[in-house]
A and B are shown apart, each in its own frame.
Chain A
Amino acid sequence: MFAGLDVVTLSRLQFALTAIFHMLWPVLSTGMAIFLVVLEALWLRTRNPLYYHQSRFWAKLYVLNFGIGVASGLPMEFQFGTNWAPLSEFAGDFFGSVLGFEGAMAFMLEAGFLGIMLFGWHKVPPAIHFLSTVMVAFGANLSVFWILSANSWLQSPSGGTFSDGHFHVQNYFAAINNPFMVRSVIHMALATVETSMLVVAAISAWSLMRQKAPEFFLFSFQLALVILLAVAPLQILAGHESAVQVAELQPTKLAAIEALWDDQPAGTSPAWAVLAAPDEASGRNRWSLSVPRAFSWILETRPRLSQPLRGLNSWPADQRPPMVGLLFYSFRLMVAVGLAAAALMAISLLLWWRGGLSAASFARWPWFSWAWILSAPAGYLAIEAGWVVRCVGRQPWTVYGELRTTDAASVLPAAEVLTSLSVFAVIYSVLLVLALYFGARIIARGPDLTLEPPNGLAAASLSVPDASS
């Protein structure tokens, strides 16, 4: 299948494959960690065993997910050396330091406290256990910060100068705080929380539809919904802000995600394509389904463009991204999922408010349960699509405007990369199936409501039932 491809393409395919697979796991490690912090705080405050059992059940899925995340993260780091040695040398001064910080600040924090969080309930005092859970969540979110800072630097390199084939850092804080950093970190952090809560809600909906542990899963669903209601509108705003920034800093990417071929002068009011068939050879869309005059409303929330927009045809072919169709539809997929999820939340809130959201509603309305169940894979798809937009849209550059992807890849025997790529493709497919299988087993088995809470705290819950609720 991959035979006959050149080594740069093979290395790109390998990076894409390993990144797309790896991305699936840290989403829960970051987003669900915050959920676990909330649950444990509730448990410590109220001593209600329900919250303790919530913590223990969701942590089971968390750890299954975490192991695969750690393991599949290794090739991400090492590929910079094995397959992208020229990039390592070109940008190592900054890029390498950031990966070092990530290891020392984020990964180690998360890994160092994970053991206590998972197995330490009966080994350490409750306060230390809570601190460990907080540290795991904090560590995971710090990695979001560092990874997104590093990736944003590739998108909008700043903080130094480029000469004789190297990036020389002049101001580290300017490089870390590069133009894309803040909005990208926020967008991704919200994405992990939103998708994780969609996963919790989906599993809860599935169990409620079958009337398994209804009290338990109704609470999980409601807590996830409350968090989602806070996060989803912010995410739509963050997504919009990111797109506005792309228009400003990476006009080639914006033109590609909108399949915009011709220049649009300021003061005009172009149509916005909902669907299109971009044709790179002829530099136009073969057909498109457009909303007239909508473009400037979507991008600038005003009737006419205040700035001119450049179309793809205004750049030479080697200075704009390929695969316009992929970018165009990935972007739409991400946006559609974000909006559909928000609509589902609004409907659910309305039901809840009108008193119609009970454990029985999920069995009564299978369409409602299924909408929630499908929202979880949709959340993951949206994240993957977002990363495709981000990284394919940056092409042909690895370091935007400074280092081409063809110059960033190591010169290696193609057979070597083909071998590792094929092995990854096989192993990762098997791993995904197995992870889903074992995850399904955990869900099918359901929570263990007989687990004894740690010593001392159980007695407290007996003598003062629901003390503060």
Chain B
Amino acid sequence: MEFLEWFMPTVWFVILALFLLLYVILDGFDLGVGILSLTSPGESQRTILMTSLGNVWDANETWLVLMGGALFGAFPLAYGTILKALYGPIYLMILGLILRAVAFEFRENATTKRPWNLMFGIGSLLAAASQGICLGTVLSGIPTDAAGHFTGSAWIWVNPSSLLVALTLIQGYVLIGSTYLILKTSGELQRLHVRTARLAAATTLVGALLITVTAPFASDTLRQRLFDPAFLPFFVVLPLLGVVLIVQLYRSLAMRQEVWPFVYTVFLFILSFLGLGVMVFPAVIPPSVMIFQASSSVSSMVFMLTFIGVLIPIMLFYNIYNYIAFRGKVSAE
């Protein structure tokens, strides 16, 4: 039992991290394409952008729903405390996702596309920004009492460091959206998004550097973790790998490769994600509530694992099949 009480929360932390990572990569490029659609030169190009998402955006958004449900089941305390602390940005995100989704369906049936184009782009931008604010606020820490209940103000998420994370996440989404479009488009539109990818890679890099430099000032816990000798190898290797990936990304863009820019960007996302995970683990409500305190009962976690654990490979399988069925360039039908 001792072992399970340590092991099961860890397993669920990893599964939740996996769901969140899949969400950030998959809906990340959806939202990135949505933001980029604001800059589309014309209606036919925008139609191609939106068609490239038609068959996937909904499944991609579902990873967030899944993450929410699993967080609720595995760490009910964290679910309550974090969502309560982030009341404002969570509802802004929901608003953005609602606008994005309905604009998608309404535009399809509308003769005047303009209002729905704007709604689609702005919804995507709002969702991306709010997600960044949520991430930034959680990283810099959520004040709680001994029982793990939120004690901070309703405006805790309004601060420079969460704004910085939000801006950077938007850049990251635009980057992965651009590289997805390089994969799915051709000709003039593809060349446009090679340019947006270059630009977004640079701005993402600047943002990531600023976050790294300012992290020690954002919270004591982060500072201790960053300068903890035990974690030193991580914090040396991860940035080095990051530099290698950025160089490779620029090279593949220069060589006009179609698949590799997306692949390198996905690896950059995974790397950043690992970095953030190492910074907070084993806290689930940073800085003070650990996964062991916030978790549901061991039997509950085992029960959930038997069902959801079996389903993870099945879900991955049919999601991948969906991408395979629609592989290749998008054409404006």
Contacts and interface: CB of A to CB of B under 8 A. Distances in A.
A236 interface: no
Given A123-B325, A412-B87, A96 B80 contact: no
A297 interface: no
Interface in A60-98: 63-64, 66-68, 70-75, 77-78, 80-82, 84-86, 88-89, 91-98
Nearest to B91: A420
- Residue of A88, A120, A423 most packed against chain B (CB within 10 A): A88
Interface stretch (A258-266, A362-370, A434-442): A434-442
Contacts of B154: 412-413, 416
Contact of A116 (B70, B97, B322): B322
Contacts, number: 214
Interface in B189-224: none
Nearest to B300: A93
B159 interface: no
A82 B87 contact: yes
B54 A100 contact: no
Given A410-B84, A431-B102, A99 B59 contact: no
A48 B101 CA distance: 34
Interface stretch (A105-113, A284-292, A299-307, A380-388): A105-113
Interface string A141-183: 0000000000000000000000000001100100000000000
B79 A96 contact: yes
Nearest to B149: A85
Interface of B: 54-56, 58-59, 61-62, 64-66, 68-74, 76-77, 79-84, 86-88, 90-91, 94-95, 97-98, 100-102, 104-106, 108-110, 149, 154, 296-297, 299-300, 303-304, 307-308, 311-312, 315, 318-319, 322, 325-326
Contacts of B95: 423, 427
21 contacts: A70-B61, A70-B62, A75-B94, A80-B79, A81-B68, A81-B79, A92-B76, A92-B296, A98-B73, A99-B69, A100-B66, A102-B69, A104-B315, A105-B311, A112-B62, A118-B55, A120-B55, A410-B80, A412-B87, A427-B95, A431-B102
A114 interface: yes
B308 A100 contact: yes
B66 A103 contact: yes
Nearest to A14: B91
A101 B307 contact: yes
A297 B134 CA distance: 57
A452 to B, nearest CB: 12
Contacts of A100: 66, 69-70, 72-74, 304, 308
Interface string A396-422: 000000000000001011001000100
A124 interface: yes
A353 interface: no
Given A92-B80, A100-B69, 20 more contacts: A63-B108, A68-B101, A68-B102, A70-B62, A77-B69, A78-B83, A81-B68, A99-B72, A103-B62, A103-B66, A104-B66, A104-B69, A107-B65, A112-B315, A113-B322, A114-B55, A115-B55, A119-B55, A412-B87, A431-B98
A81 B65 contact: no
A169 B73 contact: no
Interface of A: 63-64, 66-68, 70-75, 77-78, 80-82, 84-86, 88-89, 91-105, 107-109, 111-116, 118-120, 123-124, 128, 135, 168-169, 172, 410, 412-413, 416, 420, 423, 427, 431, 434-435, 438, 441-442
Interface pairs A-B: 3 shortest CB-CB: A92-B76, A115-B55, A81-B83
Given A82-B90, A86-B80, A100-B66, A112 B322 contact: yes
A100 B19 CA distance: 12
Contacts of B110: 438
A408 B300 CA distance: 21
For A81, A124, A172, A410, the residue with the greatest tally of chain B CB atoms inside 10 Å of its CB is A81
A438 B106 CA distance: 7
A63 B315 CA distance: 22
A64 B105 contact: yes
A427 B98 contact: yes
B106 A97 contact: no
Given A93-B296, A116-B55, A67 B101 contact: yes
B97 A64 contact: no
B83 A115 contact: no
A95 B76 CA distance: 10
A108 B59 contact: yes
Contact of A88 (B80, B100, B102, B303): B80
B101 A71 contact: yes
A169 B62 contact: no
Counting chain B CB atoms within 10 Å of each CB, which of A112, A119, A172 scores highest?
A112
Contacts of B65: 73-74, 77, 103, 107
A107 B300 CA distance: 21
A86 to B, nearest CB: 7
B104 A67 contact: yes
B17 to A, nearest CB: 15
Contacts of B58: 66-67, 70, 111, 114-115
